A = this chain, B = another copy of it.
Amino acid sequence: MNAPLSPTFLAALGALLGDRLSTSEAVCRQHGRDESIFAAMPPQAVAWPASTDEVVAVVRLCREHGVPITPYGAGSSLEGHTLAARGGLTLNLQRMDRILALHPEDLTATLQPGVTRKALNAALRDQGLFFPIDPGADATIGGMCATRASGTNAVRYGTMRENVVNLRVVTPEGEVVDTARRARKSAAGYDLTRLFVGSEGTLGVIVEATVRLHPLPEHVMAAVCAFPDAHSATAAVVQTIQMGVPVARCEFVDPVAIRAINAYSHLTLPESPHLFFEFHGSEAGVKEQVDLVADTVAEHGGQGFEWAATPEARTRLWEARHNVYFAALQLRPGCRSIVTDVCVPISRLADCLVQTADDLKASGLIAPMVGHVGDGNFHVQMLVDEAQPAEVHAAEALNERLVRRALAMDGTCTGEHGIGLHKQGFLVEEVGSAGVDLMRRIKAALDPQGLMNPGKVFAPLA
């Protein structure tokens, strides 16, 4: 049980924020739940700061009163990142949602953390530019920085790691730091930008992000094709990547996910393993890529290489792909998801994915599998009835086997979802206790009071 927040603290915070502070149970409950299966962990208060100055003031007040802070974007993270594990204050950054500067000539935009990826792309459209990082949900830029998000375009355009130019952060001590300048590259000191990208809110609050934009491709083609089995589909992917074809998207969708998508998005794809491709470039460039990939697909038994050349057909396809999470939930009404993701070197993808498919089949769980397979990254969404401990246990055991399989193949316990509350033990297996010790030291050095998103990334010390 968390100690109640002191009346002095709440009064000071209220004076600062007015009605942008709430201690209502409903509001706190709403912020204490996410897409993960963890029990609710509500904060004791929720604040909606509207400026960097307000974030500074709030962080300083929290510091003075020893109150934990949990930064909160869209609440769409999957590993429990935004749950208030030690109570305290949740900092909802959704009102800081302005595009502060657009530099089309430099291909950069400077954003407040509450701008969502869809809002950004809507604002960019008439500039002929886009921002490629697309986790399933319409996440906020701040949250995407904090979890080192990626998505379907990462195989060509990189992840948040490659697409954040600099950040403005409020440190746990209430200082404002710009992690870098707006130049494309720099060798000036430690890479603070990359340190904060993926730090899951444990090192400070991201209050501005400058991100890289990309010119909208001149020509786009998308294609869908069905494969006899998961192995042939992944073999086609591996060959495509190894040939150096600059595919923009290359997604695996397993038969269970296809069933979910068909029902949810009114499609009629055959219920077999599929690859969804997208190609970007000049007309001639796209044609070259398509020819190479069509041959590769055919070589591996791919069928019905179907084109979605119009923008409408493409949008329909990718919306279906993006909605797979919600579509899957409909396969078992009332269920919750345990979602996990791993990423392995591409040479091990076929083995890892096929062994996992076998394991899923043997488990009896309904668990669609999709993946950004061009990166060697795939997800399993295990649908469970929370009220059935045996099911939850089976799903967790499956996750454990999957992660260990990926680690044994020199892969990572999470390609893009992050550690949060769920994978703290696996992080130790991945980088060793000496590696985690380095991370803990950095955490302690920057946040000596341990108030920033406490309980995340690191398992409690024994």
Residues of A within 8 A of B (CB): 103-108, 147-150, 154, 158-159, 161-162, 171, 175-192, 194-195, 197-199, 214-215, 238, 242-244, 281-282, 284-285, 288, 343-347, 375-377, 406-407, 410-419, 423, 426-427, 430-432, 434-439, 441-442, 444-446, 457
Q: In the complex, are the beta carbons of B105 and A175 less than 8 A apart?
A: no
Q: In the complex, are the beta carbons of A411 and B182 less than 8 A apart?
A: yes
A199 — which chain B residues lie within 8 A by C-beta? 190
Q: In the complex, are the beta carbons of B285 and A183 less than 8 A apart?
A: no
Given A183-B410, A416-B185, the answer on whether A346 and B190 have CB atoms closer than 8 Å is no
A284 — which chain B residues lie within 8 A by C-beta? 284-285, 288
Q: In the complex, are the beta carbons of B148 and A158 less than 8 A apart?
A: no
Partner of A106, one of B158, B186, B345: B345
Q: In the complex, are the beta carbons of B171 and A430 less than 8 A apart?
A: no
Per the bound structure, the CA–CA distance linking A107 and B375 in Å amounts to 12
Q: In the complex, are the beta carbons of A434 and B185 less than 8 A apart?
A: no
Q: Smallest CB–CB gap between A282 and chain B, Å?
A: 6
Q: In the complex, are the beta carbons of B195 and A191 less than 8 A apart?
A: yes
Q: In the complex, are the beta carbons of A190 and B184 less than 8 A apart?
A: no
Q: In the complex, are the beta carbons of A438 and B430 less than 8 A apart?
A: no
19 A/B residue pairs, CB under 8 Å, sorted by A: A105-B242, A105-B347, A162-B162, A171-B438, A178-B431, A178-B432, A179-B431, A181-B411, A181-B412, A183-B375, A183-B411, A184-B376, A186-B414, A188-B426, A190-B438, A192-B431, A192-B435, A442-B445, A445-B445
Partner of A415, one of B104, B185, B194: B185
Given A106-B347, A171-B434, A178-B432, the answer on whether A189 and B427 have CB atoms closer than 8 Å is yes
Given A103-B345, A284-B284, A410-B183, the answer on whether A189 and B457 have CB atoms closer than 8 Å is yes
Q: In the complex, are the beta carbons of A185 and B161 less than 8 A apart?
A: yes
Partner of A183, one of B103, B238, B376, B426: B376
Per the bound structure, the CA–CA distance linking A179 and B427 in Å amounts to 11
Closest to A214 in B: B244
Q: In the complex, are the beta carbons of A431 and B343 less than 8 A apart?
A: no
Closest to A436 in B: B189
Q: In the complex, are the beta carbons of A442 and B412 less than 8 A apart?
A: no
Query: Given A175-B434, A191-B194, list of 8 further CB < 8 A pairs?
Result: A177-B431, A178-B431, A179-B435, A181-B410, A187-B198, A189-B457, A190-B195, A282-B288
Q: In the complex, are the beta carbons of A435 and B158 less than 8 A apart?
A: no
A175 — which chain B residues lie within 8 A by C-beta? 434, 437
Q: In the complex, are the beta carbons of B186 and A343 less than 8 A apart?
A: yes
Per the bound structure, the CA–CA distance linking A282 and B104 in Å amounts to 28
Q: In the complex, are the beta carbons of B435 and A446 less than 8 A apart?
A: no
Per the bound structure, the CA–CA distance linking A44 and B436 in Å amounts to 34
Partner of A343, one of B185, B244, B343, B407: B185
Given A188-B414, A190-B195, A432-B177, the answer on whether A162 and B158 have CB atoms closer than 8 Å is yes
A181 — which chain B residues lie within 8 A by C-beta? 407, 410-412, 430
Q: In the complex, are the beta carbons of A184 and B375 less than 8 A apart?
A: yes
A150 — which chain B residues lie within 8 A by C-beta? 185, 187
Q: In the complex, are the beta carbons of A185 and B377 less than 8 A apart?
A: yes
Per the bound structure, the CA–CA distance linking A117 and B375 in Å amounts to 26
A415 — which chain B residues lie within 8 A by C-beta? 183, 185-187
Closest to A374 in B: B184
Q: Pick the most buried of A107, A176, A181: most chain B CB atoms within 10 A of its CB.
A: A181
Per the bound structure, the CA–CA distance linking A105 and B427 in Å amounts to 26
